Chain A
Amino acid sequence: MKKLFMLLLPVLGLLGLIIFNACKNPDDKTANVANAGLTIPAGFSAVAVAEHLGSPRHIVVTPEGNVYVHLAGTKSGKGILVFHDDGDKLTLKSSFATFGGTGIAIKNGYLYASNNTEVYRFKLNDKNEVVNPNQPEKIVTGLLSRRMHEPKAIALDNDGNIYVNIGAYSNICSDYDPKAKGCPILDSAAGIWQFKVDKLNQSYGQGVHYAWGLRNAVGLAWNQQDNQLFVMQHGRDALHDLFPNLYSVHQSAELPSECMFALKKGDNAGWPYVYYDWMQHKNMLGPEYGGDGKKPADPKYLNPVAAYPGHYAPDGLLFYTGNQFSEKYKNGAFIAFHGSWNRAPEPQAGYCVVFQPFKDGKPDGKWEVFADGFAGPDKSPNGALHRPCGLAQGPDGSLYVTDDQRGTIYKITYKK
């Protein structure tokens, strides 16, 4: 019996891994309709504080309890909704901005918001209310937007800079790089650009090409502990479809990783030449550029600080600095995974909010599913009831999650 057990140990380990990666952790979680259908750890509660908002993307909450929600498109011609948080529901106060989009942030008396080609800022008064909603300053303009990976997610540092994601307008650049001689779109896309918060009409010429080789990063956040930009990359698609002889259907579902990168100026994460394999724990040379699933990538490319299973689609990143949640959450990262579409014919996965423990400004330990059940019974892009996208922290330490599928805003609190 003991022998049999020893023999089966690796098998059991693998099985554990597979179960672990199914984005489910049945232990110590309570499924409860009272929690707006979400499965969250014991002691937490969730409420749908707003519903049917259209397609809310990123979100920010002020110290006064006002909530700014950026819609993907416009609703009655307005792209940003303003609510007041009345505890268990959000009350709509006003709406403004003539553009929809994803990015939204508040810093030092301004609200920043992006559409797919530009970034604007709106002056705030001392109550963090927009002073003149019809006259924003256009600080960034002329960014590339070519159908794929258009949203320009943003984050701000403490030194007067704003960071803007410009996603690659292709899966793996092969359309633009048929001879694999060097992807020609990297000078103006697939990276993070840095601009000044207070200069008007900046474009590529005025900005700093801050980080290279990032296919598409929608979750961006500034980590105050080590004063550094963190981003979540959406990994490439279709390893099996494009290279059926090198990658199985299953490998193509699990690979490559969705990656968390801690960026410094000049870093290159390697897209399209490189992808990260979370099972082999290394950067791999992409098959378009001579890779075979075994050859490692050139070590000059940046390694992620944490990696997650393939195609989960990280759309929101938030460092938790509140005091409401228990100590383990302090300074850790919440990640909103929008959920996969390209794991077919295998089951889709993601559609959850993950917690990544941190220590001293770096990921420390295994991630865990924090909130699940957004999708309902059908985890698929068409069948999902809700899909997590944006994250924000309220003044009392509550966590807000947007759903851009049916327009729900969830508020998650911890009851001591």
Chain B
Amino acid sequence: MAIKKLAILTVLLLLFFSCLRAQVKPNKPIVHHRKSGSPMARGKIVYNKICLACHMADGGGVPTMNPPLINTEYVLGDKTRLIKIVLNGFKEDVQINGQSFANNMTPHSDLKDRQIADVLTYVRRSFGNKASRVTALEVKRVRAANKK
């Protein structure tokens, strides 16, 4: 019995450490640019790697710190403004659904046009949100205008 328990523990721990190892491979981009799969599926991968830590798995954000992505004009409204937030980050003092949020968002201009399109499509159509898709072409145009 004890041996069995120990064996299970060992396996669990080995798994645990192999996960750690897998995650710290040096010089490898963390978010691959995937072309296969639906925009929603690809967007979810980007979301989980880049956005989830602050905006949470359910898009609910963190009260007073990181804004929610649910039912807000910032997500559902003007796509250009939304794309610019991803490209440039965000550090304005604004109220979102009546609350203000303390944390700044870092720019994510290193993401490819398609990745930004995918993740914004995912965000605009998840967590109860129902808004139109964002295309890579739209991101490309905003990025070009953004540089001027």
Which residues of A does B touch, CB under 8 Å? 1, 4-5, 8, 11-12, 14-15, 147-150, 170-171, 175, 238, 240-242, 244-251, 341-342, 344-345, 380-382
Contact = CB atoms under 8 A, between A and B. Distances in A.
A171 B56 CA distance: 18
Contacts of A342: 53-54
B145 interface: no
A150 B101 CA distance: 12
Contact of A11 (B9, B24, B28, B58): B9
B66 interface: yes
Contact of B52 (A14, A248, A345): A345
A150 B57 contact: no
A253 to B, nearest CB: 10
A345 B9 CA distance: 23
Nearest 6 pairs of A and B residues by beta carbon: A248-B23, A244-B30, A341-B62, A381-B62, A148-B102, A147-B102
B102 A149 contact: yes
Contacts of A170: 104
Interface string B130-143: 00000000000000
A8 B54 contact: no
Nearest to B14: A11
A345 B57 contact: yes
Given A171-B104, A247-B24, A382-B58, 13 more contacts: A5-B6, A8-B6, A8-B9, A15-B13, A171-B103, A245-B27, A248-B23, A250-B19, A250-B23, A344-B52, A344-B56, A344-B57, A380-B56
B123 to A, nearest CB: 16
Contact of A245 (B3, B6, B26): B26
Contacts, number: 79
B146 interface: no
A4 B25 CA distance: 31
A interface majority secondary structure = loop
Given A11-B13, A245-B28, A238 B53 contact: yes
B24 A248 contact: yes
Interface in B1-58: 3, 6, 9-10, 13, 19-20, 23-28, 30, 48, 50, 52-54, 56-58
Given A245-B26, A341-B65, A344-B52, A147 B10 contact: no
B81 interface: no
Interface of B: 3, 6, 9-10, 13, 19-20, 23-28, 30, 48, 50, 52-54, 56-58, 60-63, 65-66, 91, 93, 100-104, 106
A8 B10 contact: yes
Contacts of B25: 245
A249 B16 CA distance: 12
Contacts of A244: 30
A256 to B, nearest CB: 15
Contacts of A171: 103-104
28 contacts: A5-B6, A11-B9, A15-B9, A147-B101, A147-B104, A171-B103, A171-B104, A238-B53, A242-B106, A244-B30, A245-B26, A245-B27, A245-B28, A245-B30, A246-B24, A247-B24, A248-B24, A249-B23, A250-B23, A251-B20, A251-B24, A341-B62, A342-B54, A345-B48, A345-B52, A380-B56, A382-B61, A382-B63
Nearest to A10: B13
B13 A14 contact: yes
A175 B103 CA distance: 12
Contacts of B53: 238, 240-241, 342, 344-345
A175 B104 contact: yes
Nearest to A241: B53
Contacts of A238: 53
A150 B102 contact: yes
Contacts of B27: 245
A214 to B, nearest CB: 17
A320 to B, nearest CB: 29
A11 B56 contact: no
Given A8-B6, A8-B9, A245-B26, A381 B63 contact: yes
B42 to A, nearest CB: 18
Contacts of B26: 245-246
Contacts of B106: 242
A15 B9 CA distance: 8
Contacts of B65: 341, 381
Contacts of A250: 19-20, 23
Contacts of A12: 9
A1 B52 CA distance: 44
A56 B105 CA distance: 28
